[in-house]
């Protein structure tokens, strides 16, 4: 992880200050707090001793992965729904690859109004199914969220239904800002908030809540290193660099957007204390840490703030740093793969190859030795081809679960003393 931008002294540019004032004045956090009570919950802030030890200071987790829709997005959707009032009767329209779609569908269901959601053609099947289960009409169109959003905008203009933008909307920003209000209430010694940044709605909302009541609290944004278009724009007036095929480059696909919004960019310029990036390895490690140690399921985008805190490169502060776990709607296959990979790296999952005599009972003898060593057998395969074997031998490949590297070496010694020629991977 490394810092790609750090705010120095505020610019003092009157035009920039005026733009910030104009935008921030349109964000009604108190109205949003009343609106989200209709269907969202106040998620817990959980102290993490393990993460605090790694970071060198007090760190807690804001578990938005436990939100009703599985992510923070429901807050913004409910805030927008309340702001629309009677205009919501014509239905809601959204575009998203997952979390925002699910949140808007949930909000529409609560309000009893229709909902059309445009999702990219390659959106995960599980996320499409989750949106359909909530009663929304899913339209698989476009190769990216940006293309889906263009189609959604066109349909909204044609039908008069209300478009709920995923981040570039002041009512949506206000809804996300209710997380900041909860942190100010629940964490008396709040010193820093670390937040994922995609389109910027979450960071903008939390930042405005902090600026209103505790401007001394640092706001640190985090992007995936493979897709960090904000860095070129945050310090100046230029447009963000648009990455090629952003969602394919990172497991944090929920924040893999080409650019922040026209409303969020000027807010981020004034609110962020610094902008960090984390690597794919760091994101994967954070997802595993959350699952194994914190007992929280997080998607890649939901884990980037924890990845930044785990890196140890955020200087400890007097007070508590809170990392936002923004969503838990992860593909089960991906999470299972990361957990297996972690067990292999940690030496708890090993693959063993050896040879046994091709006679009845030979395999049972080998398995008894493994059982006596208290290793757990996961898979077993006979290998008879592409391996140099005696005519009366058969190869055996086993996947085993051990307690770690020391236990694996003990198993190796036991097998070798019994006469087995073994190789481990």
* Same-domain check for residues 366 and 385: yes
Q: Look at residue 243 in the predicted model and tell me its pLDDT.
A: 47
Q: Which residue has the higher pLDDT, 414 or 232?
A: 414
Residue 311's domain spans which residues? Answer: 2-66+169-340
Mean pLDDT within 68-73: 95
Residue 195 has what pLDDT? Answer: 98
pLDDT of amino acid 8: 61
| Same domain, yes or no: 313 and 374 | no
73 counts as catalytic:
yes
CATH classification at residue 283 = 3.40.50.1100
DSSP code for 394: E
Distance of alpha carbon 98 from alpha carbon 384, whole angstroms: 46
Of 302, 318, 340, the last residue of a domain is 340
With 70 as the cut, is the pLDDT of residue 28 above it? yes
| Residue in 65, 71, 96, 326 annotated catalytic | 326
Judged by average pLDDT, the poorest of 18-27, 214-223, 282-291, 316-325 is: 18-27
Q: For residue 13, what pLDDT is reported?
A: 67
Q: Who has greater pLDDT, 422 or 18?
A: 422
What local confidence, expressed as pLDDT, does residue 9 receive? 55
249 and 289 belong to one structural domain: yes
Query: Is 60 found in the same domain as 83?
Result: no
Same structural domain, 284 and 364: no
The confidence band for 12, taking pLDDT boundaries of 50, 70 and 90, is low
pLDDT in tens, 191-219: 999 999 999 999 999 999 999 999 999 99
Number of domains in the chain: 3
Same-domain check for residues 81 and 115: yes
Average pLDDT rounded to a whole number, residues 365-392: 84
Assign 317 a pLDDT band (cuts: 50, 70, 90).
Answer: very high
What's the pLDDT at 236?
Answer: 60
Query: What is the Cβ-side half-sphere exposure of residue 148, based on CA atoms within 13 angstroms?
Result: 27
From the list 138, 11, 54, 152, the residue with the least C-alpha distance to 95 is 152
How far apart, in whole angstroms, are the C-alpha atoms of residue 73 and residue 302? 12
Selected residue with higher pLDDT from 305 and 236: 305
CATH number of the domain bearing residue 378: 3.30.70.260
For the entire predicted model, the pTM comes to 0.84
pLDDT of residue 344: 73
* 309 and 359 fall within a common domain: no
Residues 80 and 97 in one domain: yes
Marked catalytic residue, from 62, 73, 80, 127: 73
Over the stretch 102-142, which tens digit does the pLDDT of each residue have?
999 999 999 999 999 999 888 878 889 999 999 999 999 88
Helices (runs of H) and strands (runs of E) counted in the chain? 16, 15
Distance CA 237, CA 15 (A): 11
Domain end position, chosen among 290, 318, 340: 340
pLDDT band at 348 (very low <50, low <70, confident <90, very high): confident
The predicted-structure confidence for 137-179, as pLDDT tens digits, reads as follows 999 988 888 888 999 999 999 999 999 999 999 999 999 999 9
Count of residues in the chain = 425
Q: Which of 117, 142, 163 marks a domain boundary?
A: 163
- Write the DSSP string, 134-178: TT-EEEE-SSSHHHHHHHHHHHHHHH-PEE--SSS-HHHHHHHHH
Q: What is the DSSP letter of 419?
A: T
């Amino acid at each position: 992880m490394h810092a790609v931008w750090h705010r120095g002294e505020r610019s003092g540019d009157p035009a920039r200050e005026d733009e910030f004032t104009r935008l921030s004045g349109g964000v009604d956090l108190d109205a949003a707090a009343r609106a989200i009570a209709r269907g969202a919950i106040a998620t817990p802030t959980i102290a993490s001793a393990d993460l605090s030890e790694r970071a060198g200071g007090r760190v807690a987790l804001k578990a938005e992965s436990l939100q009703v829709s599985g992510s923070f997005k429901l807050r913004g959707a409910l805030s927008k729904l309340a702001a629309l009032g009677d205009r919501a009767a014509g239905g809601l329209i959204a575009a998203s690859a997952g979390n925002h779609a699910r949140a808007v569908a949930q909000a529409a269901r609560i309000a009893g109004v229709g909902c059309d959601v445009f999702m990219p053609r390659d959106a995960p099947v599980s996320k499409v199914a989750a949106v359909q289960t909530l009663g929304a009409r899913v339209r698989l169109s476009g190769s990216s969220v940006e293309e889906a959003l263009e189609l959604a905008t066109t349909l909204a203009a044609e039908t008069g239904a209300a478009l709920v933008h995923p981040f570039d909307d002041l009512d949506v920003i206000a809804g996300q800002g209710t997380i900041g209000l909860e942190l100010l209430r629940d964490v008396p010694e709040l010193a820093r908030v670390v937040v994922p940044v995609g389109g910027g709605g979450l960071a903008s909302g939390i930042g405005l809540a902090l600026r209103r009541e505790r401007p001394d609290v640092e706001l640190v944004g985090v992007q995936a290193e493979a897709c960090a278009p904000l860095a070129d724009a945050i310090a100046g007036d230029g447009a963000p660099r648009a990455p090629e095929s952003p969602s394919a480059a990172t497991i944090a696909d929920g924040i893999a957007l080409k650019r922040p919004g026209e409303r969020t960019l000027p807010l981020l310029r004034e609110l962020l204390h610094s902008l960090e990036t984390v690597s794919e390895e760091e994101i994967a490690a954070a997802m595993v840490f959350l699952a194994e140690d914190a007992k929280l399921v997080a998607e890649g985008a939901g884990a980037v703030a924890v990845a930044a805190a785990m890196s140890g490169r955020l200087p400890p502060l007097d007070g508590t740093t809170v990392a936002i776990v923004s969503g838990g709607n992860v593909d089960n296959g991906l999470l299972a793969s990361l957990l297996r990979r972690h067990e292999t790296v940690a030496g708890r999952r090993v693959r063993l190859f050896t040879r046994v005599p091709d006679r009845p009972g030979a395999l049972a003898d080998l398995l008894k030795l493994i059982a006596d060593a208290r290793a757990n057998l996961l898979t077993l395969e006979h290998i008879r081809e592409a391996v140099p074997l005696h005519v009366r031998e058969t190869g055996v490949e086993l996947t085993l679960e051990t307690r770690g590297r020391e236990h694996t070496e003990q198993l190796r010694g036991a097998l070798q003393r019994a006469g087995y020629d073994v190789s481990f991977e």
